[in-house]
């Protein structure tokens, strides 16, 4: 039989579409010698197939371990979010809400520094720290955010609300609004000395959830319409 003009792909297609070939020629499984990827020794086709299956199984095991790790991390985050939300809901005095919110947020999520400012709160709260004056520029910036800002500290006014601004390398600025289309009535600041903790390319979905819960709780401070 002439093999002139037959390509490796032709042979591969023939073997793939002729499953009985190795049943009729079982001796080839042991006779064909391949180079092992784990050294220069020659192995049979059967041994090479077993090595490939072991490598595939190892890859699947690593993927399963990674999925379990991510699942464990998600459960841990959900538990922290639950405890933080519960602390907000159990705060009876509205004037205590900003302090409780910030303290629990720092505790549950290991945030080095955090601060909050609210403008437009009811007059009875005007003497409290969270109601200190905020410039019109800061209010406009908060209103312009459709999602949290994450990145380096570029001299934002909100960074000055923190206890030690000199150590802040990255921060997240989360606008507070009752509804998505409403103007912002405040802003929450999360800060870290780690320049990579709040990076410009990180996802903001979780921070948006933080903002939604915080806004819902803090809406009790606003004047009754």
What confidence score (pLDDT) does residue 55 get?
Answer: 80
Closest CA to 92 of 84, 100, 81: 100
Q: Mean pLDDT across the stretch 190-215?
A: 93
Closest CA to 109 of 90, 83, 91: 83
Question: β-strand 113-118 against 149-152: which pairing, if any?
Answer: unpaired
* Secondary element (H or E) of residue 150: strand 149-152
Q: What's the CA gap between 216 and 207, in Å, rounded?
A: 14
Does residue 50 register a pLDDT over 70?
yes
What confidence score (pLDDT) does residue 74 get?
Answer: 78
Q: Decide: residue 211, CB within 10 A, 0-12 exposed, 13-18 middle, 19+ buried.
A: buried
Residue 204, beta-bridge partner list: none
Residue range 112-164, pLDDT digits in tens: 999 999 998 999 999 999 999 999 999 999 999 999 999 998 889 999 999 99
Q: Mean pLDDT across the stretch 210-216?
A: 96
What confidence score (pLDDT) does residue 209 get?
Answer: 93
Q: Which two tokens stand for residue 132?
A: 């200190």
Question: β-strand 33-35 against 42-44: which pairing, if any?
Answer: antiparallel
Quick one: what percent of the chain has pLDDT higher than 70? 87
What confidence score (pLDDT) does residue 1 get?
Answer: 47
Q: Which two tokens stand for residue 21?
A: 């070939």
Residue range 62-82, pLDDT digits in tens: 888 788 777 777 788 889 999
Q: Which two tokens stand for residue 215?
A: 């806004």
pLDDT category at 4 given cuts 50, 70, 90 is low
Residue range 171-194, pLDDT digits in tens: 999 999 998 888 999 999 999 999
Using left for φ > 0, alpha for ψ between -120 and 50, and beta otherwise, residue 26 falls in alpha
Closest CA to 206 of 80, 41, 21: 80
At which residue do the structure tokens 């939300």 appear? Answer: 85
Q: Mean pLDDT across the stretch 43-49?
A: 64
Q: What's the CA gap between 40 and 37, in Å, rounded?
A: 7
Closest CA to 97 of 82, 84, 79: 84
Does residue 36 register a pLDDT over 70?
no
What's the DSSP call for residue 113?
Answer: E
Residue 186, beta-bridge partner list: 118, 176
């Amino acid at each position: 039989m002439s093999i002139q003009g037959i390509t490796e792909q032709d042979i591969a297609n023939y073997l793939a579409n002729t499953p009985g070939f190795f049943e009729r020629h079982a001796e080839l499984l042991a006779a064909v010698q391949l180079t092992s990827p784990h050294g220069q020794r020659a192995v049979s086709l059967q041994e090479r197939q077993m090595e490939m299956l072991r490598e595939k199984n190892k890859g699947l095991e690593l993927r399963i371990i990674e999925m379990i790790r991510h699942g464990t991390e998600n459960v841990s985050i959900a538990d922290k979010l639950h405890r933080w939300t519960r602390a907000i809901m159990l705060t009876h005095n509205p004037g205590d809400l900003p302090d409780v919110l910030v303290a629990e947020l720092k505790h549950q999520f290991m945030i080095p520094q955090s601060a909050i400012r609210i403008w437009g709160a009811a007059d009875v709260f005007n003497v409290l720290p969270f109601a200190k004056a905020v410039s019109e520029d800061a209010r406009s910036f908060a209103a312009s955010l459709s999602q949290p800002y994450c990145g380096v500290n570029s001299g934002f006014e909100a960074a000055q609300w923190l206890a030690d601004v000199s150590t802040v390398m990255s921060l997240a600025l989360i606008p507070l609004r009752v509804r998505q289309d409403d103007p912002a009535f405040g802003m929450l600041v999360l800060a870290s000395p780690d320049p990579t903790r709040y990076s410009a390319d990180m996802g903001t979905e979780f921070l948006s959830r933080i903002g939604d819960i915080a806004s819902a709780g803090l809406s009790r401070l606003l004047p009754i319409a």
